[in-house]
Amino acid sequence: MEYVINNLIHEEKNGKVSNKICRKLNSTNPMKKSVQPRRIQETLMAVIGKGIHAVKSPAALALTVLLALTQWARAQDNLLVNPGFEEGNNGGWTAVGNTPVKEVGPTDTYYNAGLCAPDATAEPVVSHSGDWVGNIYGNFSTPVNYSSWSQTFPTLSGATFTAGAWTYVSHEDMMAGENCFYYEVDFLNASNVLLASYESFVITNLNCPPTNNTFPLDTWVFLAATNEMTVTSGTNTGAVSGNTGSSGILTAPANAATIRWTGQFVNVNGAGGSVYLDDCDLIQLSGPVPPSLTAISPNGVILATNTALTCTATSDGLITNVQIVVQSHGLTGGTNTVTNTLASPEVTGLGTASASVNYPLTTNLIYTATVTAKDNFGFVVTGTTSFDTMAPTLVIEAEDFNYSGGEYTNTPPNGGLSLYHDLVGTALIDEFKQPGNGTQGDYRPSDAVIIQHAAPDNGTEQKYVTAAANGDTNSWDVPQEVGYNTVGDWLDYTRDFGSASTNSAPAGTYYIWGRIATDGDGNDCINMYEITSNPTQSDQSSNLLGSFSFADSDWNGFDYAPMADNFGNLVSVTLSGHETLRATVANGPNIDFYMLVPAVPILTPSLKYSYPDGVHPFEPTNDLTFTIGAANGAGIESSAIHLILNGVDVTSKLTLTGATNSWTANYPILSNTVYSAVIDATNSDGLSSTFTINFDTFNPANFQWEADDYDYSTNNGSIWVGGHFIDNSVPSCDTTAAATGHEATNSYYGFPADYTPGLDPFGQGAIAQQGIDFTCASPQPQANDYYRADGQGSQPATDYLRPKFVAARAQFSDNNIGPFNLGWTTTGDWENYTRTYPTGNFYVYGRIAGGATANGAFEPWSGEQLDLVTSGVGTPSQTTNILGTFSDQTPAGYQAWHWVPLRDTSSNMVVVSLAGKTTLQIVCGGPGVNEEFYMLVPAPAQSPQPLLGASLVDGQLNISIPTQTGYSYQVYFSPSLSPASWTATGSPITGDGTTHVVVETMTGQQGYYEVR
């Protein structure tokens, strides 16, 4: 220990350069000098007299006194919330930059290879206490950036504190470059102006190899904030003040309103290194303490049985006021917000040191509530809770599907606790599970269906909370989920409905809600069927009831989704006697449970029919038709039905037929176009419904090419020849298992079967060559698993089964053939697509999906580029011309497929002229996109030249423009016929088949108008 501590003095003497660098980076978040050695020695003399053991150097005493100064203080109350990160998340903390919370143990290793290369066998990082630690490192976003953990609390002038945290640096990831880390405690006034600041010793670059270091490695050390810094005009100047504060007592100055604890990491020029935090302290020694609030109950519970929200506020003084803000809504929305200043009987003990809240709850609501308590010192404490009081008639846990060839167990209303533990379903009778990834859990460990412990971000069922409180320690008596689902998987659920006590629920008419989590757009996650034949036999017949749809970006972000038709209307089902429901996976969600609630009359207008309906792409038609019904509500006048199409109100052009209880509307639309239709209807009671339908009218016969079907090369016995391609290729690869399918002469799967094996490194006769047919960072994940063994990553795509795949399934008698997409691409990757393209002018659309960023959000992407290869096809020397780029401003997930058109730099649709054999090249502009296929859409002939009309009306010039649907128009003005540029006048006009008028004020000046 002496060797390491001696270098604390060394850091003080030789750390000036790095101190100056860090000071320049940010005057409010600087590196700091250590406390002066002489002052440390003076302080230590007094400490030694109190029984602190002597050590071999003043610097060693310095570290010892920092430890000693905090030990007596740590016995006090710690203000920090979640100080040891034992909640397993950043609860209570404001986290900026790269600040993960990590579970550690003897088998865990966390390192990023900082200044030194890591050991061949990484050594574990262990916690100071408990199972979790906080971690912090640079976010690498700019040349200088900051990551921090912080918490802020109210305080008053004169209050005293100690502060710090146990700190660990692994030799696997030592601080590098000009990076630094330190703790800082700031006092601020009510306007958030800095009044005083205290900082800890600064961890800086640790030499490599680790000799002559200033901080011990692989050791937990408590760093206290003891250095009082100079604060000038509300800014920490970075200089240690004359009073170093080495006593470890931090005093709130005059006018202090808040105290802020911060662990700060400064990252410079992408240098490596990280720091671990545990058992952080902010301990108040004197002065009034802000009130505290006991855990609010219920919190994080779903299907809660509580009749009241409860908690207790306590204070060193008197609790003078308690307020609650409650937001609640039912399953179908309609949020109600109530703000109440509580009084008896909802709160007892006001005016005393302890006030208890007992706020009544209503069943069948979803709640978010915030409780705020204030004491006579002016301190405020706030707590927030989210839960629901849903009381369904029956819960069917997703993991409680049939077993042993149609056997089942009736359950109580809440679904029971582990009633299907260890039971095994029979394939093609109780379940159908396709091979896939995922590790089986402990609930039904011998079953093919993957069932794992769920980590629901949005609540835990009451029955699991109750079981744990009653001492249940079974590892499987926790929330479970059915996960790793593949499109087409299905599960049967049989229950009895009737008046007998042994039945699961009464006979009746129900809505069904699913609790689902997805990492994509969630459209039609699950289709629900009613089995109409014997559920103990295979080849069961069924009737489709409806679908569950849910969009989110979190595999554990479970929420409620109703069983609805394709227009979003809730679908009811009448159940009586022995009933079997089948849930079939349509888009790969994680599934928690299903719940049945009594159906109630629908009083709002409903959408009964629409075509196109947006169920799948390719709905070619020239007419949008939809039917609005009154459902169980009041009648609807024709004037109360509105249509917004691609952002334009076209209601006046609707053709409506019918009566008040049912109206059918028609509107002419264009073929080969993407549409978003918003239909709104209001009945005579003033109740409204809005329906959004996104659809396209593309012709499925439009020329298409698969993203996976890029060019390839072959070896003629002596040299490789690149740029080979297949016209009219057929799909023949299976999506259900790696490297399965049918090799054929006109298929890209496994490469054409007529090439002689043994003439290339892979023994398959043909291979795509890097730098000639494609380029990617190789090998990529799943590069050779399914489609082509060349290093390019691909995977099955969960998109609409186009006619070519239906035909291929029939041709090869293989129902596992399906679409694939390219993935894991990065900036600069490219693929060549040589084809005999049709002759004409075309728009180009990509069927592309955008993925989530590191924080789980979906962010717009752009830059996927289409080039024309002008020379060098099949060689390493190719020249290209840029045609345009693809970009998506509303991505929704890696399997949420959108039509993305090719546009120029001004966002105009690009028209590409093609004729015969041509090579197009897709160039990736960055990570985060999956590519499924590309399509040519015939571009319309040039718009007929619009004719302007002009008339004088009340002293104003009215310019009339006949418009055509599918085009946009803009009027321009110039004082001469040969200007340098024309000036736009009026707003852009979207063509709708009518004549539009632009009004210009007469000025007496000669001028000219044109329309484009």
Q: How confident is the model at residue 175 (pLDDT cuts 50, 70, 90)?
A: confident
Place of tokens 């915030």: 370
Q: Which has the closest alpha carbon to 138: 112, 108, 161?
A: 112
Kindly report the number of other CB atoms within 10 A of residue 767's CB atom.
24
CB 799 within 8 A of CB 727: no
Which range among 246-250, 437-441, 630-634 has the greatest average pLDDT? 630-634
Average pLDDT score over residue span 521-527: 75
Which range among 64-73, 164-173, 666-675, 764-773 has the greatest average pLDDT? 666-675
Q: pLDDT tens for residues 43-92?
A: 222 222 222 222 223 333 333 333 333 333 333 578 999 999 999 889 89
Contacts of 833 (CB under 8 A, 6+ apart): 705, 709, 710, 711, 725, 919, 920, 921, 922, 934
CB 524 within 8 A of CB 487: no
Average pLDDT score over residue span 958-976: 81
Residues 936 and 619: their CA atoms lie apart, in Å, by 16
- Model confidence at 267: pLDDT above 80: yes
CA 659 to chain centroid: 45
Q: pLDDT tens for residues 539-583?
A: 999 999 999 988 776 788 899 999 998 888 899 999 999 999 999
In terms of pLDDT, which residue wins out, 60 or 525?
A: 525
Task: State the angle between helix axes of 58-71 and 2-14 in degrees (0 to 180), rounded to the nearest 10.
Answer: 100
Average pLDDT score over residue span 396-413: 98
**Percent of the chain surpassing pLDDT 70:** 85
Average pLDDT score over residue span 744-769: 64
Burial 28-57 (b: 16+ CB within 10 A, else e): ebbbbbbbebebbeebbeeebeeebeebee
Q: How many CA atoms lie within 13 A of 719 on its CB side?
A: 4
Residues 127 and 708: their CA atoms lie apart, in Å, by 47
Which residues are registered as beta bridge partners of 969? 989
H-run or E-run covering 998: strand 995-1001
Lowest mean pLDDT among 226-240, 297-311, 372-386, 949-963: 949-963
Q: Which has the closest alpha carbon to 262: 290, 223, 319, 301?
A: 223
pLDDT of 3 reads 24
**Confidence (pTM):** 0.67
Mean pLDDT, rounded, of the chain: 84
Task: Give yes or no for a cis peptide into 345 (omega within 30° of 0).
Answer: yes
Q: How confident is the model at residue 16 (pLDDT cuts 50, 70, 90)?
A: very low
Residues 697 and 630: their CA atoms lie apart, in Å, by 28
Burial 520-536 (b: 16+ CB within 10 A, else e): bbbbbbbbbbbbeeebb
Residues 337 and 368: their CA atoms lie apart, in Å, by 9
pLDDT of 313 reads 97
Torsion sign over Cα 604, 609, 612, 614? positive
Two tokens at 12?
A: 């003080």
Q: How confident is the model at residue 947 (pLDDT cuts 50, 70, 90)?
A: low
pLDDT of 70 reads 34
Q: Which has the closest alpha carbon to 894: 596, 522, 615, 644?
A: 522
pLDDT of 43 reads 28
Kindly report the number of other CB atoms within 10 A of residue 825's CB atom.
26
Q: How confident is the model at residue 246 (pLDDT cuts 50, 70, 90)?
A: low
Lowest mean pLDDT among 296-300, 307-311, 955-959: 955-959
- Model confidence at 932: pLDDT above 70: yes
Lowest mean pLDDT among 260-264, 681-685, 885-889: 885-889
Average pLDDT score over residue span 423-428: 97
Residues 406 and 425: their CA atoms lie apart, in Å, by 8
Query: Could you tell me whether strands 983-990 and 995-1001 are parallel, antiparallel, or unpaired per DSSP bridges?
Result: unpaired
CB 64 within 8 A of CB 57: no
Q: How confident is the model at residue 121 (pLDDT cuts 50, 70, 90)?
A: low
Two tokens at 1008?
A: 């000219």
Q: Which has the closest alpha carbon to 769: 844, 680, 705, 832?
A: 832
